Amino acid sequence: MSSVVEPSAPQAPRYTKKDFESDQDVRWCPGCGDYAILSAVQKMMPDLGIPREDIVFVSGIGCSSRFPYYMNTYGFHTIHGRAPAIATGLRIARPDLKVFVVTGDGDGLSIGGNHMLHVLRRNVNVTILLFNNKVYGLTKGQYSPTSELGKVTKSTPMGSADRPVNPCAFALGVGATFVARTVDRNLAHMEETVKKAAAHQGAAFVEILQNCNIYNDGAFDAVRDDEENRIYVRDGEPIRFGAEGGRGVRLRIDGSAEIVWLHKQVMIKLAEGGGKVPESMKRA
CATH number at residue 166: 3.40.50.970
Q: Are 225 and 269 members of one domain?
A: no
pLDDT given at position 238: 85
**Tens digits of residue pLDDT in 8-32:** 555 667 899 999 999 999 999 999 9
Distance CA 196, CA 264 (A): 35
2 located within any domain: no
Segments of the chain scoring below 50 in pLDDT: 277, 280-284
pLDDT given at position 264: 61
Distance CA 187, CA 118 (A): 30
- Which residues neighbour 124 within 8 Å (Cβ) at sequence distance 6 or greater? 84, 87, 88, 91, 202, 203
Q: Are 249 and 221 members of one domain?
A: no
9 located within any domain: no
4 located within any domain: no
pLDDT given at position 237: 86
- Which residues neighbour 11 within 8 Å (Cβ) at sequence distance 6 or greater? none
Q: Are 194 and 251 members of one domain?
A: no
Q: Are 44 and 146 members of one domain?
A: yes
Q: Are 217 and 249 members of one domain?
A: no
pLDDT given at position 23: 96
Distance CA 21, CA 108 (A): 25
192 located within any domain: yes
Q: Are 133 and 256 members of one domain?
A: no
pTM exceeding 0.75? yes
pLDDT given at position 6: 55
Looking at the structure of the chain, the number of domains it has is 2
5 located within any domain: no
- Which residues neighbour 247 within 8 Å (Cβ) at sequence distance 6 or greater? 240, 241, 259, 260, 261, 262
pLDDT given at position 246: 79
Q: Are 35 and 145 members of one domain?
A: yes
Domain of 265 in residue numbering reads as 240-283
